[in-house]
């Protein structure tokens, strides 16, 4: 039985990760400050004696003995990470320093949930790990993008300087049950709007693209990465390479919900990336991983969840 720390464990992805790790027979300690996470996401795990939840903000140091650390704490939706941008930077930078310092002291493996946002509004398409990105350092998205980029820097410097056992994965847009219904991300927004019969809000002309990965596939990729030997440090892209325009996503959500909602076009937000698709050759070769759940199937499961809310 491994003892595993999950930061951000009460969030969307963190709660799925805690559940999977417990099901695989591990002891899991979840820390979260509940900024965007919720106890509702993990309440079904509370009866498990091998699950422990601690309210803690990772911008402060945390002391524990564990074998592995998954560092997921950080608001992920543009509305939430722009609500208090200075705090977002602190969470990525100070939070990473605290988790890396902990990993250094206790010789634990530590995995960073990085993001496709490190590629910014990419001019190389699709995006391989070697691409350095096209990021505005002073825009409204920079607190998230540059925070995550600095976190990657810290991970690699702790590895080079202190031999910390790091794993960096770059997660592309992931969706599924337990997404926050009001976090403004495109999948949750469109489903909520369709179920309520409200207008579906397309920002810009809807021709921008994203590649959507279902949460179960993503969690499988994270665990495979953690279980690689110490020579595998990443960064490795984890995401679904099937690319859709945002308009196609809207039409699919309308079809699957049977909604009468209409599409409306609103101004595009600043620095909105125009295209995004992961190259996942490394994930395939090194992790023997690729997504298995098509968008249509994943959306149906997600729609069922939102219907029950």
Q: Which one of residues 4, 5, 6, 12 is an interface residue with ligand NAD (CB under 6 A)?
A: 12
Region 37-56 residues binding ligand NAD, contact defined as CB under 6 A: 37
Identify any residues that bridge with 237 across adjacent strands, giving them in sequence order.
170
Looking only at the bridges linking them, the beta strands covering 209-211 and 243-245 are antiparallel
Identify any residues that bridge with 210 across adjacent strands, giving them in sequence order.
244
Task: Based on the shown chain and the rule CB under 6 A, indicate whether residue 59 belongs to the binding site for ligand NAD.
Answer: yes
In whole angstroms, how large is the CA radius of gyration of the chain?
Answer: 19
Q: Which is nearer to ligand NAD, 32 or 261 (CB)?
A: 32
Region 2-41 residues binding ligand UDP, contact defined as CB under 6 A: none
Q: Which one of residues 127, 189, 211, 282 is an interface residue with ligand UDP (CB under 6 A)?
A: 189
DSSP 54: E
Task: Based on the shown chain and the rule CB under 6 A, indicate whether residue 189 belongs to the binding site for ligand NAD.
Answer: no
- The listed partner (ligand NAD, ligand UDP, none) that binds 78, CB under 5 to 8 Å by sort, is ligand UDP
For the record, the structure tokens of 292 come out as 């298995």
**Known active-site residue 214:** no
For the record, the structure tokens of 210 come out as 């994203």
Helix H or strand E encompassing 159: helix 142-162
Q: Which is nearer to ligand NAD, 5 or 113 (CB)?
A: 113
What order of strands is seen across the sheet that includes strand 165-171?
51-55, 27-32, 3-7, 68-71, 109-115, 165-171, 236-238
Q: Which is nearer to ligand UDP, 216 or 272 (CB)?
A: 272
Task: Based on the shown chain and the rule CB under 6 A, indicate whether residue 251 belongs to the binding site for ligand UDP.
Answer: no
Q: Which one of residues 269, 271, 281, 305 is an interface residue with ligand UDP (CB under 6 A)?
A: 269
State the nearest-atom distance from the C-beta of 259 to ligand NAD, in Å. Answer: 23
How many whole angstroms separate alpha carbon 56 and alpha carbon 6? 12
How many whole angstroms separate alpha carbon 193 and alpha carbon 253? 10
Task: Based on the shown chain and the rule CB under 6 A, indicate whether residue 164 belongs to the binding site for ligand UDP.
Answer: no
How many whole angstroms separate alpha carbon 112 and alpha carbon 244? 27
How many whole angstroms separate alpha carbon 261 and alpha carbon 264? 9
Task: Based on the shown chain and the rule CB under 6 A, indicate whether residue 78 belongs to the binding site for ligand UDP.
Answer: yes
Region 230-249 residues binding ligand UDP, contact defined as CB under 6 A: 246
State the nearest-atom distance from the C-beta of 192 to ligand NAD, in Å. Answer: 16
| Catalytic residue (choose from 70, 81, 119, 144) | 144
Question: CB under 6 A: which stretch of 65-73, 129-137, 185-193, 298-306 binds ligand UDP?
Answer: 185-193
Region 66-125 residues binding ligand NAD, contact defined as CB under 6 A: 72-76, 91, 95, 113, 115
Task: Based on the shown chain and the rule CB under 6 A, indicate whether residue 11 belongs to the binding site for ligand NAD.
Answer: yes
State the nearest-atom distance from the C-beta of 240 to ligand NAD, in Å. Answer: 11
Centroid of chain to Cα 123: 22
How many whole angstroms separate alpha carbon 59 and alpha carbon 92? 8
With left for phi above 0 and alpha for psi between -120 and 50, is residue 133 left, alpha or beta?
Answer: left
Q: Which of 109, 74, 118 is nearest to 239 (CA)?
A: 118
Residues within the interface to ligand NAD (CB under 6 A): 7-8, 10-14, 32-37, 57-59, 72-76, 91, 95, 113, 115, 171, 173-174, 180
Active site residues: 144
Residues within the interface to ligand UDP (CB under 6 A): 77-78, 173, 185-186, 189, 201-203, 208, 210, 246, 269, 272
């Amino acid at each position: 039985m491994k003892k595993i720390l999950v930061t951000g464990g009460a969030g969307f992805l963190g709660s799925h990760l805690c559940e999977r790790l417990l099901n695989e027979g591990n002891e899991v300690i979840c820390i979260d400050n509940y900024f965007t996470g919720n106890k509702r996401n993990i309440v079904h795990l509370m009866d498990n004696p091998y699950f422990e939840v601690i309210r803690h903000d990772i911008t402060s140091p945390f002391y524990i003995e564990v074998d592995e650390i998954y560092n997921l704490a950080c608001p992920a939706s543009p509305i939430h990470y722009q609500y208090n941008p200075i705090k977002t930077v602190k969470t990525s930078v100070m939070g990473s320093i605290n988790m890396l310092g902990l990993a250094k002291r206790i010789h634990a493996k530590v995995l960073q949930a990085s993001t496709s946002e490190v590629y910014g509004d990419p001019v190389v398409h699709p995006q391989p790990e070697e691409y350095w990105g096209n990021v505005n350092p002073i825009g409204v998205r920079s607190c998230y993008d540059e925070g995550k980029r600095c976190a990657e820097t810290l991970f690699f410097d702790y590895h080079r300087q202190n031999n910390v056992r790091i794993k960096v994965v770059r997660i592309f847009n992931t969706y599924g049950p337990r997404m926050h219904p009001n976090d403004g991300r495109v999948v949750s927004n469109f489903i909520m709007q369709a179920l309520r019969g409200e207008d579906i809000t397309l920002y810009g002309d809807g021709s921008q693209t994203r590649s959507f990965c279902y949460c179960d596939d993503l969690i499988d990729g994270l665990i495979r990465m953690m279980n690689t030997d110490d020579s595998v440090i990443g960064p490795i892209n984890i995401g679904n390479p099937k690319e859709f325009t945002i308009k196609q996503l809207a039409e699919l959500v309308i079809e699957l919900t049977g909604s009468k909602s209409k599409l409306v076009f609103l101004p595009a937000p600043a620095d909105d990336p125009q295209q995004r698709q992961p190259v996942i050759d490394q994930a395939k070769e090194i992790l023997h991983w690729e997504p298995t759940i098509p968008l249509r199937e994943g959306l149906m499961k997600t729609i069922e969840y939102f219907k029950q809310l």
